[in-house]
């Protein structure tokens, strides 16, 4: 056995040792929520908004265990881990994205290693990988408080100190040792309004106002690593799913992801929230997954793992159906006093409301959310025509009963004093229709 092979064997043993540690992690009390936060930064002329999703710690543990199976590593990926001792814990999360690993294999990772430390705590940006469509920021936290509850916010600033007009998401970081060390990554989506900045500042701020201070790391962004690495594949074909017409316009390949642009026919009878169980399958049967969609009502960009460095001979888009509602079911009226709902989908039930500070939390029961879209609203109007925003909806796995019904809590911002009939408009709803489909994507090799 060569020294190189021995080094790889030792690394794999350490990684599988991390699997054993994960298996031994006790699942926290179900009342403790693990949050996933997506901050959507619109252009400066628009109101800044933030959307939050919640899942239980049980679900999060399942995600961790799903990707800590038999871990095999390529030499380049092994080298990446070897450069940063202690990064083995996050390998399981990176490994779920085949495209991201291949990009790292191609030496497209920019090592950073910059730390901000004060008050006995520190944040280190370990490295980033970025192209025109996506940026992934790896970070480590030490000595931070209340991280198991995800009680901190992140801001991403450009070289002028302005919020980047991007969408980004991150999980509460996982503890990698008993020394209060946590690590994870931030996943950033660049829209048409933004591109990677020349200089990036990542700001971590505790949500607890009793904790003072913030941690800020500023770093240059090396855009030359992926400059010009973009391939556009025209498709221009139409799918019909459950009677709804969907035009698949083009696929754009970047080192970190594939972006599939689709348009929903405005004449469709349903508002389509998304396509179910969507994946791209190559000639070898390998599936390239997706978990993110961006865009407006009729035009969407669907993000898949990238096969940039392993372009297949054949690629087929497959799905099991769609999630959507008839357009005349999107609007309904809720009487706060009686709890009566007029209009809307027949499966939604009002369970009551609670005033918390200046906000009002509305509770609904809806069909099983697992594996589908949650309940969300574009806006709510009261009986005098005042408009309210609903910045967040939350649910927990223990809120799902034996019949598959889920309880969802929607927070109406500054809605404590509203009363009477509320005019409500759904933006998403957990209604799935089974209608399997497939479409071959033409490839120009």
pLDDT tens by residue, 187-198: 999 877 788 999
Does 73 share its domain with 147?
yes
Q: What is the pTM of this model?
A: 0.74
Contacts of residue 309, defined as CB under 8 A and 6 or more positions apart, other chains included, come to 102, 103, 105, 106, 255
Radius of gyration of the chain (CA): 23
**Number of structural domains found in the chain:** 3
Does 307 share its domain with 338?
no
The residue-averaged pLDDT of 233-256 equals 95
Q: Identify the residue with better confidence: 403 or 375.
A: 375
Q: Which two tokens stand for residue 398?
A: 């223990």
Does 33 share its domain with 67?
yes
pLDDT tens by residue, 328-385: 999 999 999 999 999 999 999 999 999 999 999 999 999 877 666 788 998 899 999 9
Give the 3-state secondary structure percentages of the chain, helix then strand then coil, rounded to 5: 15, 45, 35
Does 166 share its domain with 239?
no
pLDDT tens by residue, 321-341: 999 999 999 999 999 999 999
Question: How far, in Å, CA of 101 to CA of 96, rounded?
Answer: 9
- Confidence at 398, pLDDT banded by 50, 70, 90: low
Does 142 share its domain with 277?
no
Does 244 share its domain with 154?
no
Q: Which of 141-155, 292-306, 387-401, 423-437 has the highest mean pLDDT?
A: 423-437
Q: Which of 124-128, 179-183, 245-249, 432-436 has the highest mean pLDDT?
A: 245-249
| CATH number for the domain that contains residue 283 | 2.60.40.1640
Does 121 share its domain with 58?
yes
pLDDT tens by residue, 29-46: 322 222 232 333 222 222
Q: Identify the residue with better confidence: 123 or 178.
A: 123
pLDDT at 194: 82
In percent, how much of the chain has pLDDT > 70?
A: 72
Given a cut of 80, is residue 79 above it in pLDDT?
no
Sign of CA dihedral 129, 11, 82, 93: positive
Does 409 share its domain with 436?
no
Given a cut of 90, is residue 280 above it in pLDDT?
yes
The residue-averaged pLDDT of 11-29 equals 40
pLDDT at 16: 46
Structural domain of residue 143, as residue ranges?
3-226
Point out the domain boundary residue: 226, 246, 263: 226
Q: Which of 63-77, 240-254, 379-393 has the highest mean pLDDT?
A: 240-254
The residue-averaged pLDDT of 64-74 equals 34
pLDDT at 40: 31
Does 82 share its domain with 201?
yes
Mean pLDDT over the full length of the chain: 78
Point out the domain boundary residue: 161, 191, 226: 226
The packing angle between helices 3-23 and 88-95, to 10°, is 80
Given a cut of 60, is residue 234 above it in pLDDT?
yes
Does 219 share its domain with 169?
yes
Burial 128-163 (b: 16+ CB within 10 A, else e): bbbbbbbbbbbbbbbebeebebbebebbbbbeeeeb
């Amino acid at each position: 056995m060569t020294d190189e092979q021995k080094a790889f064997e030792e690394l794999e043993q350490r990684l599988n040792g991390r699997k054993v540690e994960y298996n031994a992690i006790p699942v926290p009390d179900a009342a403790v929520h693990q949050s996933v936060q997506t901050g959507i930064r619109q252009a400066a002329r628009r109101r800044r908004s933030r959307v939050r999703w919640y899942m239980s710690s049980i679900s999060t543990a399942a995600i961790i265990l799903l990707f800590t199976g038999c871990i095999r590593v390529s030499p380049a990926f092994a080298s990446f881990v070897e450069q940063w001792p202690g990064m083995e814990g996050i390998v399981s999360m990176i490994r779920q994205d085949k495209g991201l690993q291949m990009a790292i294999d191609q030496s497209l990772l920019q090592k950073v290693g910059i730390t901000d430390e004060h008050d006995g705590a520190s944040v280190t940006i370990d490295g980033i990988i970025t192209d025109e469509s996506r940026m992934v920021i790896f970070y480590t936290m030490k000595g931070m408080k209340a991280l198991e509850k995800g009680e901190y916010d992140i801001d991403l600033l450009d070289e002028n100190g302005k919020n980047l007009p991007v969408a980004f998401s991150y999980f509460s970081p996982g503890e990698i040792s008993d020394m209060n060390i946590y690590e994870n990554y931030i996943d950033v989506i660049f829209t048409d309004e933004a591109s990677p900045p020349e200089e990036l500042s990542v700001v971590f701020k505790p949500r607890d106002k009793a904790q003072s201070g913030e941690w800020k790391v500023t770093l240059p962004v090396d855009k030359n690593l992926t400059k010009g690495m973009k391939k556009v594949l025209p498709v221009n074909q139409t799918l019909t799913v459950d009677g709804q017409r969907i035009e698949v316009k083009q696929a754009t390949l970047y080192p970190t992801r594939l972006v599939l642009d689709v348009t929903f026919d405005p004449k469709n009878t349903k508002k389509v929230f998304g396509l179910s169980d969507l994946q791209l399958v190559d000639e070898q049967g390998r599936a390239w997954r997706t978990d993110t969609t961006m865009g407006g009502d009729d035009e969407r960009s669907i993000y898949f793992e990238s096969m940039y460095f392993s372009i297949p001979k054949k690629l087929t888009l497959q799905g099991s159906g769609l999630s959507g509602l008839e357009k005349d079911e999107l609007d309904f009226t809720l009487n706060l006093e009686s709890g009566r709902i007029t209009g809307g989908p027949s499966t939604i039930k009002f369970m009551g409301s609670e005033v918390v500070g200046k906000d009002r939390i509305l509770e609904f029961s809806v069909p099983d959310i697992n594996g589908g879209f949650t309940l969300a609203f574009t806006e709510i109007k009261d009986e005098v025509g005042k408009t309210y925003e609903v910045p967040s909806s939350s649910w927990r796995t223990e809120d799902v009963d034996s019949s598959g019904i889920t309880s969802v809590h929607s927070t109406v911002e500054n809605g404590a004093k509203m009363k009477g009939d509320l005019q409500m408009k759904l933006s998403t709803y957990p209604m799935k229709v089974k209608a399997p489909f497939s479409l071959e994507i033409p490839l120009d090799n």
